[in-house]
Amino acid sequence: MEETTGCPRCRGPLDSREERCPACGSARPPGGWPPDFRIGQRILGRLVLTRRLGIGASGAVYVAEDPEAGGRVAAKLLRRELTRDPELVRRFRLEAVLTKSLGIPAVVPAYDFGVLEDGTHYFTMEYVEGQSLEDLLTGPLPLPEALSITRQVLRALKVAHGKGVVHRDLKPRNLLICRDPLGHPLVRILDFGFACVAGGTGTSRKGPEDHVGRRLTLLPTVLGTPTYMAPEQARGSSQVDGRADLYALGVMLYRMIAGRPPFVGTLDEVLEGHLKRRPVPVEHLAPGVPAAVARVVARLLEKRPQDRYPDAEAVLQDLARADPDGGPLPEPPPEDPSSGPGDLLSQVDRYVLGTRSLPAWPGVASRPRRSPAWWVIGAVVALAVAGAMAWWILR
């Protein structure tokens, strides 16, 4: 179990194995890092942070309990030092808006988002008991379970891609597996921190909505997790659509069936595999897998997006033919005609891109802005001096 520790200097959350605090550079004390300073803190007037669920590069997630009403939510807090980067703050707010607005039962929804009194950006979301798929993958999964998980993710992607949302970081760590009373897996999708709002799978959106999508995706970095990264993401292409999510799901299905990902090794070897090499056919590592299922996996892992399935629905249809007796699935989400791509983009434009001012991290001095009037006066004085010197030289 993870030790919940924090930095005594900047009071940020830390992984207990860190030698130095990534935020302020403090070295780990001889006796180890102290407990996370957030534990026991009251936020939003009524919620108490009682336990840390996880920590990542952008922040940490805590269990937040209401001692009076007895309720419980999860609270994600952005690292305070990242508040100085407006792009990261927008991406954090985007994750909250998307999960709050998508309305997909398989996606863990946000409830509320904003800024705490100490300047920390937060959002609260549904607290779900479960186990990550990563923790379950100690070897191959039974084929019915692997296909049930895959089909549930595909149904969620069908809705998300239809609304123009691409996850871009699907991986076992971001899938929470719960169980129904009969022990069947129920999938909940987490972490839309790398998501983008663009056209649907295989499409491009034009006009004002396309402008929103471009503003949300122009980042000078390769986004995603290397083991599950589509070739176009590994190349840093800006033309990434829902077929990148289908590739990542293909990598997960391969691992669920074979017990290992298609490409392993160093970072360079894994990326080279995605870009250039054909994976070992999954049926060679799992001889009992039906040929029709193996063909689905192979098509999901095609290098070129146009050679993959065009959308999640096409994969669902092929899986239904390959496994007509597949296990039970939760009821599909009801169609919500009031929550289409345009409505979602308007929410993003209002609450993410429409943010005109972002609160600064307390204690970080901001550079004072000079009044435009002083620039004008300075320019006039400089021109006057230059004119006087020219007159003196040429007279």
- Quick one: average pLDDT of 284-302? 96
Q: How many CB atoms lie within 10 A of CB 89?
A: 19
Which of helix, strand or coil describes residue 81? Answer: helix
- Quick one: average pLDDT of 284-307? 96
List Cα–Cα distances, 61 to 4, 39, 43, 68, in angstroms: 11, 11, 13, 22
CATH no. of 131-349: 1.10.510.10
Phi, psi for 318 (deg, rounded to 5) = -65, -40
Q: How confident is the model at residue 338 (pLDDT cuts 50, 70, 90)?
A: very low
pLDDT for the residue numbered 348: 55
Q: Answer yes or no: are the C-beta atoms of 170 and 350 closer than 8 Å.
A: no
Owner of token pair 């920590």:
55
Catalytic residue among 36, 169, 241, 323: 169
DSSP per position, 257-300: HHSS-S--SSHHHHHHHHHHPPPPPHHHHSTTS-HHHHHHHHHH
- Quick one: average pLDDT of 234-238? 85
pLDDT for the residue numbered 331: 55
Which of helix, strand or coil describes residue 89? Answer: helix
pLDDT for the residue numbered 198: 67
In the chain, where the domains are located = 4-82+111-126, 131-349
With 60 as the cut, is the pLDDT of residue 160 above it? Answer: yes
Q: How confident is the model at residue 345 (pLDDT cuts 50, 70, 90)?
A: low
Q: How confident is the model at residue 395 (pLDDT cuts 50, 70, 90)?
A: very low
- Quick one: average pLDDT of 345-364? 44
pLDDT for the residue numbered 78: 94
With 50 as the cut, is the pLDDT of residue 371 above it? Answer: no
Q: How confident is the model at residue 84 (pLDDT cuts 50, 70, 90)?
A: confident
Q: How confident is the model at residue 340 (pLDDT cuts 50, 70, 90)?
A: low
The four Cα atoms 377, 382, 384, 388 give a dihedral, to 10 degrees, of 160
pLDDT for the residue numbered 292: 96
Q: Which of 38-47, 199-208, 230-239, 380-389 has the lowest mean pLDDT?
A: 199-208
With 90 as the cut, is the pLDDT of residue 155 above it? Answer: yes
Convert the pLDDT of each residue in 259-282 to its tens digit: 999 999 999 999 999 999 999 999
pLDDT for the residue numbered 114: 92
Mean pLDDT score across all residues of the chain: 81
With 80 as the cut, is the pLDDT of residue 227 above it? Answer: yes
Q: 53 in the Ramachandran plot: left (φ > 0), alpha (ψ -120 to 50) or beta? A: alpha
pLDDT for the residue numbered 332: 53
pLDDT for the residue numbered 374: 42
Determine whether 66 is an active site residue: no
Q: How confident is the model at residue 358 (pLDDT cuts 50, 70, 90)?
A: very low
Architecture of the domain whose range is 4-82+111-126? 2-Layer Sandwich (3.30)
The Cα–Cα gap between 314 and 273 comes to 26
With 50 as the cut, is the pLDDT of residue 152 above it? Answer: yes
Q: At what angle do helices 143-162 and 242-258 cross, to 10 degrees?
A: 170
Q: Answer yes or no: are the C-beta atoms of 192 and 267 closer than 8 Å.
A: no
With 70 as the cut, is the pLDDT of residue 148 above it? Answer: yes
Q: Answer yes or no: are the C-beta atoms of 249 and 157 closer than 8 Å.
A: yes
Q: Which of 43-47, 103-107, 122-126, 220-224 has the lowest mean pLDDT?
A: 220-224
